[in-house]
């Protein structure tokens, strides 16, 4: 089950990678690049999402899964795929075998690799970010194979979520007694296609929006990770910088104000060094570790922007916006 919006040639590669491995349903969310014709030409069943309602990836996945069940009422497993990914040749059989061998497992995912990490530092950061540990996990990402019956029992993804819908569904599946596992097998190539700073910034803004949304919508245990992300953004991108500026401007002639500012600046620098050393311990060279720490620090400002956008959107009673970081 594939979802996409203006994925261009990436969608063609995606659909070719899953062709011949079962029924393929493609859900399009208002593409203007010929994606619908491309998908039909490659033999996929196409569902065009009604964009008069707020768009989310979760809603697209639910629509595709519903159509898949109409076409294949006895479907046992469903592989969710984003249109910018290519499934590896042996993954479908490997994942299905893992689910059949362990009836308590409801979701399996594998290793995801970035297709072109050499094209930009942003792609390289994503490639590093995909390197998750193997074993039982809290949640998968957008690519995973689910036990269809478990998805039906859980009523699928939460349509309202702009991001983090996989985490939320996996949390409900685990509470129902299911397990989520990452197995040691190559699952897919991912083509994030980020070559410009503004694209990376918008992606981080979307992450902040999703974290704020998760804080509000989830219970204490499920939403803990989202609250931590929001609080880190507020502390490092708002509280500390504001305190530094306040100390320097309000108490310009006071030595105590300068001392407070110096301590806060040292705290901010200490956090950067902590991130740098963490990345260095992850076997990255010093230059790469520096960039990873720098973007992690800068990313807090983008995430704070996303948190603020969520608060403003909800206070105005507006629909969830589409935050796109990549054009057609």
The whole-number pLDDT of residue 17 equals 95
Query: φ, ψ for residue 308 (rounded to 5)?
Result: -65, -40
The whole-number pLDDT of residue 255 equals 65
Please give the Cα distance from 247 to 243 (Å, whole number).
Answer: 6
Mean pLDDT of the chain: 90
Model pLDDT for residues 258-314, shown as the tens digit of each residue: 777 788 889 889 999 999 999 888 877 889 999 999 999 999 999 999 999 999 998
Domain check: are 223 and 257 in the same one? yes
| Residues in Cβ contact with 103 at an 8 Å cutoff, skipping those fewer than 6 apart | none
- Domains: count for the chain: 2
Average pLDDT over residues 177-201: 95
- 80, 1 Cβ separation under 8 angstroms: yes
The whole-number pLDDT of residue 253 equals 56
Model pLDDT for residues 62-105, shown as the tens digit of each residue: 999 999 999 999 999 999 999 999 999 999 999 999 999 999 99
Domain check: are 34 and 111 in the same one? yes
Overall size of the chain counted in residues: 328
Domain check: are 59 and 163 in the same one? yes
Model pLDDT for residues 214-240, shown as the tens digit of each residue: 888 877 777 788 899 999 999 999 998
Domain check: are 304 and 184 in the same one? no
Model pLDDT for residues 235-264, shown as the tens digit of each residue: 999 998 888 888 777 665 566 777 777 888
- Among the residue ranges 6-10, 115-119, 158-162, the one predicted with the least confidence is 158-162
Domain check: are 173 and 210 in the same one? no
Residue of 154, 162, 104, 108 lying closest to 134 (CA atoms): 108
Task: Tell me the pairing of strands 179-190 and 85-87.
Answer: antiparallel
Domain check: are 189 and 201 in the same one? no
Please give the Cα distance from 93 to 195 (Å, whole number).
Answer: 34
DSSP tally for the chain: helices H, then strands E = 12, 9
Q: Give the SS3 label for residue 57.
A: helix
End residue of a domain, out of 167, 194, 221? 194
- 44, 35 Cβ separation under 8 angstroms: no
Q: Give the SS3 label for residue 85.
A: strand
* CATH number reported for the structural domain that contains residue 164 in this entry: 3.90.550.10
Angle at 6 between CA 93 and CA 30, to 5 degrees: 105
End residue of a domain, out of 194, 213, 242? 194
pTM of the model: 0.85
| Residues in Cβ contact with 48 at an 8 Å cutoff, skipping those fewer than 6 apart | 27, 28, 36
Burial of residue 116, with CB atoms counted within 10 A of its CB: 0-12 exposed, 13-18 middle, 19 or more buried: middle
* Displacement of CA 240 from its chain's centroid (Å): 27
The whole-number pLDDT of residue 224 equals 82
Please give the Cα distance from 169 to 56 (Å, whole number).
Answer: 14
Average pLDDT over residues 137-142: 90
- 110, 186 Cβ separation under 8 angstroms: yes
- 161, 210 Cβ separation under 8 angstroms: yes
Q: Which pLDDT band, with edges at 50, 70 and 90, does 150 fall under?
A: very high
Q: Residue 13 has which token pair?
A: 């590669």
Domain check: are 183 and 203 in the same one? no
Domain check: are 231 and 86 in the same one? no
Please give the Cα distance from 133 to 135 (Å, whole number).
Answer: 7
End residue of a domain, out of 134, 164, 194? 194
Average pLDDT over residues 186-197: 94
The whole-number pLDDT of residue 251 equals 60
What are the strands, taking DSSP E only, across the chain? 2-4, 25-28, 45-48, 77-82, 85-87, 105-114, 135-136, 144-147, 179-190
| Residues in Cβ contact with 299 at an 8 Å cutoff, skipping those fewer than 6 apart | 204, 207
Q: What is the domain extent for residue 147?
A: 2-194
């Amino acid at each position: 089950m594939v979802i996409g919006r203006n994925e261009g040639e990436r969608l063609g590669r995606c659909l070719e990678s899953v062709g011949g491995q079962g029924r393929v349903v493609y859900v399009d969310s208002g593409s203007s690049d010929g994606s619908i014709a491309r998908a039909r030409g490659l033999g996929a069943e196409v569902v065009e999402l009604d964009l008069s309602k707020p768009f989310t990836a979760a809603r697209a996945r639910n629509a595709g899964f519903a159509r898949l069940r109409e076409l294949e009422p006895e479907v046992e497993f469903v592989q969710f795929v984003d249109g910018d990914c290519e499934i590896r040749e042996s993954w479908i059989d490997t994942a299905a075998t893992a689910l059949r061998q362990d009836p308590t497992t409801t979701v399996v995912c594998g290793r995801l690799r970035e297709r072109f990490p050499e094209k930009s530092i942003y792609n390289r950061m994503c490639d590093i970010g995909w390197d998750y540990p193997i074993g039982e996990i809290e949640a998968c990402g957008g690519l995973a194979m689910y036990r269809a019956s478990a998805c039906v029992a859980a009523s699928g993804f939460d349509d309202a979520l702009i991001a983090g819908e996989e985490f939320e569904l996996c949390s409900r599946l685990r509470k129902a007694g299911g397990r989520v596992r990452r197995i040691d097998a190559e699952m897919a190539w991912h083509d994030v296609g980020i070559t410009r700073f503004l694209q990376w910034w918008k992606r981080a803004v979307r992450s902040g929006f999703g974290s704020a949304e998760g804080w509000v919508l989830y219970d204490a245990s499920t939403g803990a990770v989202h609250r931590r992300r929001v609080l880190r953004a507020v502390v490092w991108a708002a509280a500390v910088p504001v305190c530094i500026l306040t100390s320097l401007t309000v108490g310009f002639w006071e030595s105590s104000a300068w001392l407070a500012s110096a301590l806060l600046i040292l705290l901010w620098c200490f956090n950067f060094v902590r991130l740098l050393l963490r990345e260095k311990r992850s076997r990255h060279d010093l230059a790469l570790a520096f960039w990873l720490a720098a973007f992690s620090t800068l990313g807090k400002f983008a995430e704070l922007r996303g948190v603020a956008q969520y608060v403003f959107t909800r206070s105005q009673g507006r629909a969830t916006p589409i935050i796109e970081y990549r054009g057609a």
